[in-house]
Amino acid sequence: MSVDKQTVAKIASLARIHMDDAELERMAPELSQILDWVEQLGEVDTSDVEPMTAVIPNTLRLRADEVNADAKTAGDRREDVLANAPAAEHGFFGVPKVIE
Amino acid sequence: MTEFTQMGVADIRDGVAAGDFTAREVAESFNAQVAAAAELGAFIVTTPDKALDAADAVDAARARGEALGKMAGVPIGMKDLFATKGVQTTAASHILEGFIPPYESTVSANLWAAGAGMLGKLNMDQFAMGSSNETSHFGSVKSPWRKDGSNAALTPGGSSGGSSAAVAARLCPAATGTDTGGSIRQPAAITGITGIKPTYGRCSRWGVVAFASSLDQAGPMARSVKDCAIMLEAMAGFDPKDATSLDMEVPEWEAHLSADLSGKTIGIPREYRMDGTPQDILDSWERGKEWLKDAGAKIVDITLPHTKYALPAYYIIAPAEASSNLARYDGVRYGLRDLPEGAGLQDMYAATRAAGFGDEVKRRILIGTYVLSAGFYDAYYNQAQKIRTLVARDFEQAWSQCDLILAPTTPNSAFALDEMQGDPLAMYLNDVFAVPASLAGLPAMSVPGGLNSDGLPLGLQLIGKPFDEQGVLDAGLAIEQRSGFDAQPDKWWA
Amino acid sequence: MSYRIQGATGEWEVVIGLEVHAQVTSKAKLFSGASTAFGSEPNSNVSLVDAAMPGMLPVPNRECIRQAVRTGMAIEAEINKWSRFDRKNYFYADLPQGYQISQLYHPLVGEGQLLIEADEKAGIPEDKVIGIERIHVEQDAGKLMHDQHPTMSYVDLNRCGVALMEIVSRPDMRSPAEAGAYVRKLRSILRYVGSCDGNMEEGSMRADVNVSVRRIGDELGTRTETKNVNSVRFVMQVIEFEANRQVDLIENGGTVEQETRLFDPGTGTTRTMRSKEDAHDYRYFPDPDLLPLELEDSFLEECRASLPELPDAKRQRYENVLGLTPYNARELTAEVETFARFETLLAATASAIGKDEKAVATQVANWALSVAPGVMKSLGDEGDPAHATAEAQAKILKMQVDGEISGGQAKEIFELVLKTGRDPAEIAEAEGLKQVSDTGAIEAAIDDILAANADKVEQYRGGKDKLFGFFVGQTMKAMQGKANPQVVNQLLKQKLG
Ligand SMILES: [Mg+2]
Ligand SMILES: [Zn+2]
């Protein structure tokens, strides 16, 4: 088994998904099965192979330095940005108090 | 009265344009059909008023003598992965339940601009993760199909299972789908409809809830090749808001459709003849070859040596990207917030995500997190991206021998709901034939290839060179014309 | 003389590396069209992209890339024509995407360097080259406010997505003074290039300060990283404090932990950050929303052609071509505003006088660095700096060179210019602030004085040279201080024989 319960707990915490013991217990063999299976990729000699960067020949386009040129990617829409927030207060997003 | 719900995109569009009937009549009739089919679970929300408003706008434009759009008067279903302004968009997840986007995705906006109307938001596998539509927070979708002599509920495939079920059941003439590793083609295949995933970059990803960014592509699902061509033309196009969007003209696929394949060579990849592939799948593949030959094409055997590694590579790359793409669902700006008594910020994240994501989503986030975590990046993610290069190279080499590739879409017909629950790996194997084209970003389509001995549909897959949607559609048309596929599920719902 | 921490058990060396985050000067954000304006209403400069709404995608701003490339060129760095954006994954309330788009594997700018100049007084005995490992482009985060609500923190995403250059130095600095000089020099270069306004108070430039200590000649020690330090003085304080804290810790049997710390400007101390991101497992991977960034030669050429003369080159030119003292050259080139004002005045003065710039440079430099600031300072609020135009100052300098006015008169005239904005020549005329160079008038005065002091003339001619000063003084007095001293000297020498 490639991942045990402790490892799953560590990954779950890194991924910020709370999991109780029973869930970890259930998840460990499932993940192990999948990870054992993907490990067959190790068979392939890829020493001369570049990792894929762009699946279709295409290069990155850059946009002009213009403010609010396209309404869909523009600022100045505080109402929209806050409309779905579970705790919007005084124009801010509210979160439980953070101590830095 | 004309049975509008038996009509496809082209017929509705042409009939509305000719004045044979109004767009409103069409919309009303589909709205009624949708309302009567709740048992299928194909829709998460229905939007009958949206369909009527769009229809009225088309009827009014026609009355004023204005030119009508490519999809004028056609009501469609919209996969719930596309953000629709003012209409709940959830990706079938509890974590986005109640989310009302203040924006419209580029693809859906293109469709509305072309005169289409929205019947509702279609159910799907949660965050497009799944091949059976059982991972939705809003319940599984039932296929309208049943095995001969059985009442057992079958899967409509996934992740675009709401789309496939709705189109197969005549709840809408066409629907949008998205395909990350087969999510248009696999459900199309097992519900006896047609669906195409275009070249990566043809359809903008802006406003589409992301699953795996380097793979996600939107595409149409309909009941004919021509309908797919029409709808894809409306959906596709360069979008400066998507840095991976192709800056190319959208070809006139519909106008250039031709089932004459003389001069074309079709490759048959030997690696797709896998151990344990059912005979009915192999038989349908054979029939596909004959049909294409009959259309004038030459058939050659080809090899795609890294096929076997495509699926495991996909199950590293897609979860890795997903683990990062789904980090934004944290209960701060939209969607679910679970704030246990006395919880701090990080506890809130963990509680929210635990409550909001389904099991399969969690599984993939964990796999993705694991393969990217310290010390594992090279062994997993980087190796998978190198395999991806090899898979793409296989196709490039194949193109020196053939113009298109013919393969089965899926290794099996529709299976029963619950049949594969609890065995994630067996479920993943559903996409074994679909994933290679996704990894290589190629256009690929599924067209019906007949029924198996249980009376269930099987799909044939056509894979083309980058940007050659036309070739794929043409070969699909050649099959469609020869297969004579006109089977429909018996209506057992409502 | 090297900087050392004197511990109870001996001397320690401090090793410093800086990661400076500099906000790229641009109108719009790195990946969205929202404004970068400072001080807007909370969450007003936020697009759907910045708020990481579902389905939003980044598209890079060309100007941000251009400015980072120009900055790289200014530190003589390698520019990578092929670079990529990566995602740095972690969860925090100021980071809506759950990842920061940054560059780890293939940064835009590679190895470069920066020269800090010897400054004996500041404790930098000789010139030193500080290595710069890389510059990468990344998104800034939002801001959290903790003091607005008893149980909640408030999130403002206005800064979220603003383009930053992260400029990573080698651990080449060995004292607070060197680190201070490095930040000042970097700031000066950024401001010359125009890629960052260098405004540290507004957070346009802030440093992560990496500090470790070791016995002289030992391997590198464990370092701490103090985040977001936003002034040169604070950077120096952090180093001072951290170095001493670490030495104390080690000498008392403890070990330094590799950790992230925060600086408290109130106490001048640092402390552990409690909201540490767990285990720093950032799961970097290439951002699949962005293709590789490939730069064309023409783009690079355009970047290079647009670079101004940079501080080191300018300073050398001031010394070698204009003949200024090293001190003056350094002072004049330290800040963009200073050299700009100097060069304008130099050109105006040279053209007014009709000589080349080199011939008047020293005089203009002295004027610009000491005379003019002195007058302005003494006037305080009474003077309006807006009146100190290059044209007016060039006129004053020309009158002085032509011998029409003395140095003292020049100051007086400048004072009146600052107060009133009147024309300097008109002031000189109206206020009688002019030297007499008319030999006739001076000769007459000298003749009178020599006649009246025949005894002293006798003594002078007999060898009492010191009396020359007496005759000068008498003449100037007779001329009411307005005689051109050079003419006075010359005539006196003639007449006294
Ligand atoms: Mg840092
Ligand atoms: Zn940084």
pLDDT in tens, B369-394: 999 999 999 999 999 999 999 999 99
Q: What subunits make at least 3 CB pairs under 8 angstroms with B?
A: A, C
For the ranges A38-47, B332-341, C24-33, C397-406, the lowest mean pLDDT is seen at C397-406
Select from C430, C451, C476 the last residue of a domain. Answer: C430
State yes or no: pLDDT of C279 exceeds 90.
no
Same-domain check for residues C283 and C341: no
- pLDDT of B190 > 60? The answer is yes
| Contact between B369 and A11 using a beta-carbon 8 Å cutoff | yes
List C-alpha distances in Å: B458 to B192, B299, B449: 7, 21, 5
Q: What is the CATH number of the domain that holds C491?
A: 1.10.10.410
Asked if pLDDT for residue C478 goes beyond 90, the answer is no
- The domain boundary, picked from C275, C299, C323, lies at C299
Cα(C276) to centroid of ligand 2, in Å?
15
With contacts defined as CB-CB under 8 Å, which chain B residues touch A83? 100, 102
- Looking at the structure, tell me whether residues C354 and C382 fall in a common domain: yes
| Across C100-125, average pLDDT | 94
Rounded to the nearest angstrom, the distance between the alpha carbon of A100 and the centre of ligand 1 is 16
Q: Taking a C-beta distance cutoff of 8 angstroms, is the pair B291, B482 a contact?
A: yes
Q: Kindly list the residues from chain C whose CB atom is less than 8 angstroms away from the CB atom of residue B240.
A: 59
Of B209-218, B367-376, C466-475, where does mean pLDDT reach its minimum? C466-475
Mutation choice for B interface testing from C57, C99, C151 by most B CBs within 10 A: C57
8-state DSSP, B38: G
Q: Is C186 a member of any domain? A: yes
Exposed e or buried b per residue across B385-416, where buried means at least 16 C-beta atoms within 10 angstroms of its C-beta: bbbbbbbbbbbeebbeebbbbbbbbbbbbbbe
The residues on C that touch B, with CB distances below 8 Å, are 48, 51-60, 87, 89, 91-93, 96-99, 153, 155, 279, 281, 283-285, 288-291
Q: Is residue C273 part of a domain?
A: yes
Strand B457-464, strand B404-408: pairing? antiparallel
- C234 and C348 in a common domain: no
Going from the C-alpha of C474 to that of each of C438, C470, C478, C487, the distances in angstroms are 17, 6, 6, 14
Residue C304 domain-assigned?
A: no
Q: Quick one: what percent of chain A has pLDDT higher than 70? A: 98
Return residues 31-90 of C near A (CB < 8 Å).
32-35, 41-51, 53, 59-65, 84
Of the CA atoms within 13 Å of residue C318, those in its CB half-sphere come to: 26
Encoded amino acid at C147, one letter: D
Say if the Cβ atoms of C44 and A75 lie within 8 Å. yes
Looking at the structure, tell me whether residues C292 and C315 fall in a common domain.
Answer: no
Q: Is C225 helix (H, G, I), strand (E, B) or coil?
A: strand
CATH for B18: 3.90.1300.10
CA distances from B77 to B160, B172, C168, C255 (A): 11, 6, 51, 64
Q: What is the pLDDT of residue B1?
A: 46
Taking the C-alpha atoms of residue B34 and residue B48, their distance in angstroms, rounded to an integer, is 9
**Residue where a domain stops, chosen among C255, C278, C299:** C299
Say how far apart CA C28 and CA C64 lie, in whole Å: 9
Distance from CA of C241 to the nearest CA of A (A): 20
Interface residue of C48, C86, C99 to substitute, partner A, most A CBs within 10 Å: C48
Judge whether B161 and B123 are in contact, CB under 8 Å: yes
Ligand nearest to the CA of C227: 1
Does B173 map to a domain? yes
Query: % helix / strand / coil in chain A, to the nearest 5?
Result: 40, 10, 50
Neighbours of C456 (CB within 10 A): 16
pLDDT of C481 = 77
Q: Which of C59, C284, C291 sits opposite B240 (nearest CB)?
A: C59
C254 and C368: one domain? no
Active site residues of B: 79, 159, 183
Q: How far is C151 from chain B (nearest CA, A)?
A: 10
Note the pLDDT of residue A1.
60
Nearest to B333 among C51, C59, C279 (CB): C51
Contact C40, C31 (CB under 8 A): no
Contacts of C45 in chain A (CB under 8 A): 75-76
Nearest to B363 among A31, A41, A50 (CB): A31
Torsion of CA B17, B18, B23, B25, to 10 degrees: -170
Range of the domain at B158: 4-260+469-483
- Yes or no, beta carbons of B344 and A96 under 8 Å apart: yes
pLDDT of residue B2: 61
What count of Cα atoms within 13 Å lies in the side-chain half-sphere of residue C393?
A: 27
H helix count then E strand count, chain A: 3, 2
Our CA-based measurement puts residue B293 at a distance from the nearest CA of chain C, in whole angstroms, of 40
Phi, psi of C83 (to 5 degrees): -140, 175
pLDDT of the residue at C324: 97
Same domain, C386 and C283: no
Strands (E), B296-375: 298-302
The tokens of B8 are what? 């496809």
pLDDT in tens, B76-109: 999 999 999 999 999 999 999 999 999 999 999 9
C355 reaches A (C-beta below 8 A): no
Mean pLDDT, rounded, for B52-58: 98
Mind telling me how many Å the CA of A91 is from chain B's nearest CA?
A: 12
Average pLDDT, chain C: 93
Question: CA C424 to CA C406: how far, in whole Å?
Answer: 13
Q: Does any domain span residue C261?
A: yes
Q: What percent of chain B has pLDDT over 70?
A: 100
Residues C350 and C227 in one domain: no
Q: What share of chain A has pLDDT > 90, as a percent?
A: 91
Q: Do A94 and C153 touch (CB under 8 A)?
A: yes
Please tell me the distance in Å from C99's CA to the nearest CA on chain B. 7
Q: How confident is the model at residue C404 (pLDDT cuts 50, 70, 90)?
A: confident
Percent of chain C with pLDDT over 70: 99
Tokens of C69: 């490339």
Q: What ipTM was reported for this prediction?
A: 0.97
Question: What rounded mean pLDDT belongs to chain B?
Answer: 97
Look up the domain containing C125 and give its range: 4-299
| B306 found inside a domain | no
CA B74 vs CA B54, B314, B437: distances in Å = 9, 35, 30
Q: What average pLDDT does this structure show over B315-339?
A: 98
Quote the ligand 1 centre to C68 CA distance (angstroms).
Answer: 18
Q: Are residues C394 and C452 in the same domain?
A: no
**Which positions in chain B touch C54 (Cβ < 8 Å)?**
83, 89, 91, 96, 99, 101, 209-210, 328, 334
Sign of CA pseudo-dihedral B375, B379, B381, B385:
positive
Residue B249 forms part of a structural domain: yes
Per-residue model confidence as pLDDT tens digits over C259-278: 999 999 999 999 998 655 55
d(C-alpha B293, C-alpha C214), whole Å = 78
Tell me which chain A residue has its CA closest to the CA of residue B439: A55
Number of domains in chain B: 1
**Is it the case that residue C130 has pLDDT exceeding 50?**
yes
Residue C306, pLDDT score? 98
**pTM for this entry:** 0.93
Do C156 and C105 have their domain in common? Answer: yes
Residues C132, C249 share a domain: yes
> Cβ(B199)–Cβ(B185) under 8 Å?
no
Q: Average the pLDDT over C431-452 and give the result.
A: 84
Q: Which residues of B touch C89 (CB under 8 A)?
A: 323-324, 327, 372
The model's confidence at residue C105, banded by pLDDT at 50, 70 and 90, is very high
CB–CB of B248/B279 below 8 Å? no
**Do C246 and C278 belong to one domain?**
yes
CA distances from B18 to B15, B22, B219, C283, C289 (A): 5, 9, 27, 57, 43
Q: Domains in chain A, ordered, with CATH?
A: 5-42 (1.10.20)
Instruction: Please give the sequence-ordered ranges of beta strands (E in DSSP) within B272-403, or none if there are none.
Output: 298-302
Number of domains composing chain C: 3
For residue C458, what pLDDT is reported? 87
Q: Is the pLDDT of residue C354 over 50?
A: yes
Residue C345 and residue C489 in one domain: no
Distance CA B180, CA B460 (A): 18
Q: Note the ligand closest to the C-alpha atom of C137.
A: 2
Parallel/antiparallel/unpaired status of strands C205-215 and C224-229: antiparallel
- Cα separation, C437 vs C441, in Å, equals 8
